[in-house]
Amino acid sequence: MAALAEEQTEVAVKLEPEGPPTLLPPQAGDGAGEGSGGTTNNGPNGGGGNVAASSSTGGDGGTPKPTVAVSAAAPAGAAPVPAAAPDAGAPHDRQTLLAVLQFLRQSNLREAEEALRREARLLEEAVAGSGAPGEVDSAGAEVTSALLSRVTASAPGPAAPDPPGTGASGATVVSGSASGPAAPGKVGSVAVEDQPDVSAVLSAYNQQGDPTMYEEYYSGLKHFIECSLDCHRAELSQLFYPLFVHMYLELVYNQHENEAKSFFEKFHGDQECYYQDDLRVLSSLTKKEHMKGNETMLDFRTSKFVLRISRDSYQLLKRHLQEKQNNQIWNIVQEHLYIDIFDGMPRSKQQIDAMVGSLAGEAKREANKSKVFFGLLKEPEIEVPLDDEDEEGENEEGKPKKKKPKKDSIGSKSKKQDPNAPPQNRIPLPELKDSDKLDKIMNMKETTKRVRLGPDCLPSICFYTFLNAYQGLTAVDVTDDSSLIAGGFADSTVRVWSVTPKKLRSVKQASDLSLIDKESDDVLERIMDEKTASELKILYGHSGPVYGASFSPDRNYLLSSSEDGTVRLWSLQTFTCLVGYKGHNYPVWDTQFSPYGYYFVSGGHDRVARLWATDHYQPLRIFAGHLADVNCTRFHPNSNYVATGSADRTVRLWDVLNGNCVRIFTGHKGPIHSLTFSPNGRFLATGATDGRVLLWDIGHGLMVGELKGHTDTVCSLRFSRDGEILASGSMDNTVRLWDAIKAFEDLETDDFTTATGHINLPENSQELLLGTYMTKSTPVVHLHFTRRNLVLAAGAYSPQ
């Protein structure tokens, strides 16, 4: 698992842009070569080039359960490798590297070890020389002033010299293989008895402070912060939570259980309420032994908590800590926090509150600096036959307005290239088939009949209720032309309904097909078996609840992802399963087809999102970096990017081309459960369990809006076809409509805001809310805008 997560390349696999119109799973050859062990490694020097190794990572690397198993059977392992950090500077870097090497040796992964050694050539001697990997440099030994200088210097540069990512990844690989459920089947997963490297990671807590003093330290700092000037207080208050967590973990690690408990008792009430869930996990963690398997703990340890603090405030803090000679706290700040210092005015409490809340603090500023091509691809030019009967049809339907001019504008828009659009062939896309063209024409025709929405013209909502679902409806999807609805259920079935009078038919048996006259015009009709016509088809195959479903744009395929760790591809011609994509070893929470078909993305409990192509049984890319489950995944309309929402309360945007994480959005206070891109590709809307919907400007990497109103998890979000209205559906049994135009209109994206990332959100949720529509007792699981802008909503009736 190339687990190094950060803004730099977390991807394991390199894409070949010029290649054939498929993304090859890159290192077929390399992988085979070195896939000796269970953990297949794309060697850092392998064909991919910029694999894990290059990722320097600010430390949120480790996903504790990476996909070790993938590889087991696969000759060409696509799973990434525990990568070595190139920088050998910090002492604990070395330590984690040692841990990795030791692990590799234990696991008989000679080649990987070699590769790693080569990569970390600088370290070689040190490695050779040093004995037990468990040995730690006591961080406390370092001179305070030296640390200070490091912190201040560490801000710039993509290759921030922090270490722990690699170590973490090593550790996580181990834990993954040790606890992976599929262990028996795996070749390479050597049962690791003990995990010395984990302890190595943990040993950073091995500081020898007086446990009884911790409370004093903390309250001392608290007093200092509370007495500081108002403008600094808000900024410095950000320190409370990470300090609290790490001090607590230190106490626990050093087996001062009682002190830890009383420390927790005393100060947990001071923390912001949105950290509640994490605090709950911490509160149960009272023993050193428990720390080993605890993912949350590992997250804290392996990723640096990022704080943005103005230079003034930071100086204030530094002075204070130096005066007090408070090494304990200073060490934590050095070891576990990443302080992103900016010049200028300290931020206000509101500004801070808007951005914090994620598991690992805010995103670093430079994390969101890279360029994103958020424009839409040029549409292929298709001649739309404008026949008269079509117009007549319009009149019959009582919509006499012919939107000729609009039609033209569509044409002209597609002709000129959007400056923000990626090059047309940035990633290879499948060619259009004739049927796709037909569909596009249909789409354009419908477009002309589209209702122009706005605050004065709200869409109608048609609610599809799943009855007798016994609380078992877990996923819904609707085809783009709104003709089919698929439901994923907890009983492992996927059901597909036709909501038009046209029934679902499957293709005839092979023996019958041979009898058909293949020259006839209506051969496509003839191959269908009338006897199988029905409104509902049930697809059996999964062995666990189906959490995600997605139709392919051409309506020939359906994807489903399940608790059983697989993503399945179903044919809607034969209503059978075509492929089971195994890669995630843990439940797969979501999957989605690319808007151009062929590619799809999935994300799951193993904390990674994977990019697949339908004709490859292994992922093309692995997007690793989230610190908790990837709950939802969405393709950008131009298919060049993938957004993922996670339980670590961040949203990340990944570049499909190189697998880099190009955006990290923080600000949600709960796990993210829904995502949607605006039709023009500029904006992203995300909804979380905290009931809020946040709006993001992708180009600038900024939060641009906050929609408050829902009282429970926002399960579904969707923009209207022209992007005028944002619809959100929630577990609180409501559909709400928001004025998207107004929300995005006067964005203050001046240079200053862009540069600093300081945002001022207007409190205008109530003005933007256009309507609230309640169901009786049906959580709104899915929303969809038809091509004419009617809203379709779906959910299962749940009797109270």
Partner 1 sequence: MAEEKKLKLSNTVLPSESMKVVAESMGIAQIQEETCQLLTDEVSYRIKEIAQDALKFMHMGKRQKLTTSDIDYALKLKNVEPLYGFHAQEFIPFRFASGGGRELYFYEEKEVDLSDIINTPLPRVPLDVCLKAPKEQQKAEATEPLKSAKPGQEEDGPLKGKGQGATTADGKGKEKKAPPLLDGAPLRLKPRSIHELSVEQQLYYKEITEACVGSCEAKRAEALQSIATDPGLYQMLPRFSTFISEGVRVNVVQNNLALLIYLMRMVKALMDNPTLYLEKYVHELIPAVMTCIVSRQLCLRPDVDNHWALRDFAARLVAQICKHFSTTTNNIQSRITKTFTKSWVDEKTPWTTRYGSIAGLAELGHDVIKTLILPRLQQEGERIRSVLDGPVLSNIDRIGADHVQSLLLKHCAPVLAKLRPPPDNQDAYRAEFGSLGPLLCSHVVKARAQAALQAQQVNRTTLTITQPRPTLTLSQAPQPGPRTPGLLKVPGSIALPVQTLVSARAAAPPQPSPPPTKFIVMSSSSSAPSTQQVLSLSTSAPGSGSTTTSPVTTTVPSVQPIVKLVSTATTAPPSTAPSGPGSVQKYIVVSLPPTGEGKGGPTSHPSPVPPPASSPSPLSGSALCGGKQEPGDSPPPAPGTPKTNGSQPNSGSPQPAP
Contact window for partner 1 (CB under 8 A) among 168-176, 300-308, 457-465, 549-557? 457-465
Binder of partner 1 out of 397, 434, 745, 763 (CB under 8 A)? 397
Regarding 603 and contact with partner 1 (CB under 8 A), the answer is no
Regarding 671 and contact with partner 1 (CB under 8 A), the answer is yes
Binder of partner 1 out of 213, 457, 523, 524 (CB under 8 A)? 457
Binder of partner 1 out of 52, 139, 234, 485 (CB under 8 A)? 485
Question: Which of 335, 319, 316 is CA-nearest to residue 92?
Answer: 335
Least CB distance to partner 1 at residue 481 (A): 7
Regarding 470 and contact with partner 1 (CB under 8 A), the answer is yes
Regarding 474 and contact with partner 1 (CB under 8 A), the answer is yes
Nearer to partner 1 (CB atom), residue 294 or residue 666: 294
| 518-577: contacts with partner 1 (CB under 8 A) | 535-536, 544-545, 547, 563
Measured in degrees and rounded to the nearest 5, phi and psi for residue 741 equal -60, -45
Least CB distance to partner 1 at residue 689 (A): 7
Binder of partner 1 out of 272, 391, 418, 529 (CB under 8 A)? 272
Length of the chain: 800
Binder of partner 1 out of 193, 343, 388, 456 (CB under 8 A)? 456
Regarding 719 and contact with partner 1 (CB under 8 A), the answer is no
Nearer to partner 1 (CB atom), residue 649 or residue 663: 649
Strands, sheet with 566-571, edge to edge from the N-terminal-most edge strand: 546-551, 557-562, 566-571, 576-582
Binder of partner 1 out of 6, 629, 697, 724 (CB under 8 A)? 629
Nearer to partner 1 (CB atom), residue 457 or residue 513: 457
Least CB distance to partner 1 at residue 433 (A): 23
Regarding 605 and contact with partner 1 (CB under 8 A), the answer is yes
Binder of partner 1 out of 148, 155, 285, 747 (CB under 8 A)? 285
Query: Do the beta carbons of residue 333 and residue 305 sit within 8 Å?
Result: no
DSSP 685-751: EEEETTS-EEEEETTTTEEEEEE---SS-EEEEEE-TTSSEEEEEETTSEEEEEEHHHHHTT----H
Nearer to partner 1 (CB atom), residue 213 or residue 442: 442
Distance of CA 143 to the CA centre of its chain: 39
**Cα–Cα–Cα angle for 86, 89, 93, rounded to 5 degrees:** 70
Per-residue DSSP letter, 206: -
Query: Do the beta carbons of residue 98 and residue 127 sit within 8 Å?
Result: yes
Burial code (b: 16+ CB inside 10 Å, e: under 16) for 644-668 equals: bbbbbbbbbbbbbbbbbbbbbbbbb
DSSP 162-198: --HHHHHHHHHHHHHHHH-TTGGG-SS-PPPS--HHH
Binder of partner 1 out of 425, 471, 509, 711 (CB under 8 A)? 471
Nearer to partner 1 (CB atom), residue 35 or residue 180: 180
Q: How many residues form the binding site for partner 1 (CB under 8 A)?
A: 100
Regarding 258 and contact with partner 1 (CB under 8 A), the answer is no
Nearer to partner 1 (CB atom), residue 447 or residue 639: 447
Regarding 378 and contact with partner 1 (CB under 8 A), the answer is no
Regarding 223 and contact with partner 1 (CB under 8 A), the answer is no
Nearer to partner 1 (CB atom), residue 129 or residue 398: 398
Residue 637 CB partners (closer than 8 Å, separation 6+):
376, 595, 677, 679, 680, 681
Query: What mask of x and - would describe binding to partner 1 in positions 684 to 713, judged by CB under 8 A?
Result: -----x-----------------------x
Beta-strand relationship, 494-498 and 672-677: unpaired
| Beta bridge partner(s), residue 654 | 642, 661
Nearer to partner 1 (CB atom), residue 143 or residue 467: 467
Distance of CA 628 to the CA centre of its chain: 9
Give the whole-angstrom CA distance, residue 149 versus residue 600. 45
Least CB distance to partner 1 at residue 371 (A): 34
Question: Which of 545, 560, 566 is CA-nearest to residue 593?
Answer: 560
Least CB distance to partner 1 at residue 402 (A): 16
Question: What is the identity of the amino acid at 62?
Answer: G
Regarding 775 and contact with partner 1 (CB under 8 A), the answer is yes
Question: What is the identity of the amino acid at 709?
Answer: G
Binder of partner 1 out of 70, 376, 427, 473 (CB under 8 A)? 473
Least CB distance to partner 1 at residue 48 (A): 30
Distance of CA 235 to the CA centre of its chain: 28
Contact window for partner 1 (CB under 8 A) among 23-31, 102-110, 437-445, 483-491? 483-491
Regarding 647 and contact with partner 1 (CB under 8 A), the answer is yes
Give the whole-angstrom CA distance, residue 341 versus residue 236. 12
Least CB distance to partner 1 at residue 339 (A): 23
The CA radius of gyration of the chain, in Å to the nearest whole number, is: 27
First to last CA, the chain: 44
38's tokens:
């269970």
| 297-326: contacts with partner 1 (CB under 8 A) | none
Least CB distance to partner 1 at residue 426 (A): 33
DSSP 189-248: -PPPS--HHHHHHHGGG-----TTHHHHHHHHHHHHHHHS-HHHHHHHHTTHHHHHHHHH
Regarding 442 and contact with partner 1 (CB under 8 A), the answer is no
Regarding 654 and contact with partner 1 (CB under 8 A), the answer is no
**How many CB atoms are closer than 10 A to CB 330?**
21
Query: Do the beta carbons of residue 53 and residue 44 sit within 8 Å?
Result: yes
Three-state DSSP at 549 gives strand
Three-state DSSP at 322 gives helix
Least CB distance to partner 1 at residue 436 (A): 19
Binder of partner 1 out of 279, 384, 609, 726 (CB under 8 A)? 279
Regarding 467 and contact with partner 1 (CB under 8 A), the answer is yes
| 733-752: contacts with partner 1 (CB under 8 A) | 734-735
192's tokens:
């690791």
Nearer to partner 1 (CB atom), residue 329 or residue 630: 630
1's tokens:
């698992």
Least CB distance to partner 1 at residue 497 (A): 5
Regarding 587 and contact with partner 1 (CB under 8 A), the answer is yes
Nearer to partner 1 (CB atom), residue 414 or residue 465: 465
Per-residue DSSP letter, 305: E
Least CB distance to partner 1 at residue 384 (A): 20
Give the whole-angstrom CA distance, residue 357 versus residue 440. 42
Least CB distance to partner 1 at residue 501 (A): 6
511's tokens:
């023996």
752's tokens:
């200053």
Regarding 465 and contact with partner 1 (CB under 8 A), the answer is yes
Beta-strand relationship, 734-739 and 337-342: unpaired
| 77-136: contacts with partner 1 (CB under 8 A) | none
Binder of partner 1 out of 254, 483, 556, 753 (CB under 8 A)? 483
Query: What mask of x and - would describe binding to partner 1 in positions 338 to 367, judged by CB under 8 A?
Result: ------------------------------
Nearer to partner 1 (CB atom), residue 139 or residue 291: 291
Regarding 24 and contact with partner 1 (CB under 8 A), the answer is no
Question: What is the identity of the amino acid at 417?
Answer: Q
Query: Do the beta carbons of residue 743 and residue 783 sit within 8 Å?
Result: no
Nearer to partner 1 (CB atom), residue 48 or residue 242: 242
Regarding 26 and contact with partner 1 (CB under 8 A), the answer is no
451's tokens:
């209702």
298's tokens:
């590992």
Binder of partner 1 out of 497, 557, 683, 738 (CB under 8 A)? 497
Least CB distance to partner 1 at residue 3 (A): 19
Query: Do the beta carbons of residue 701 and residue 365 sit within 8 Å?
Result: no
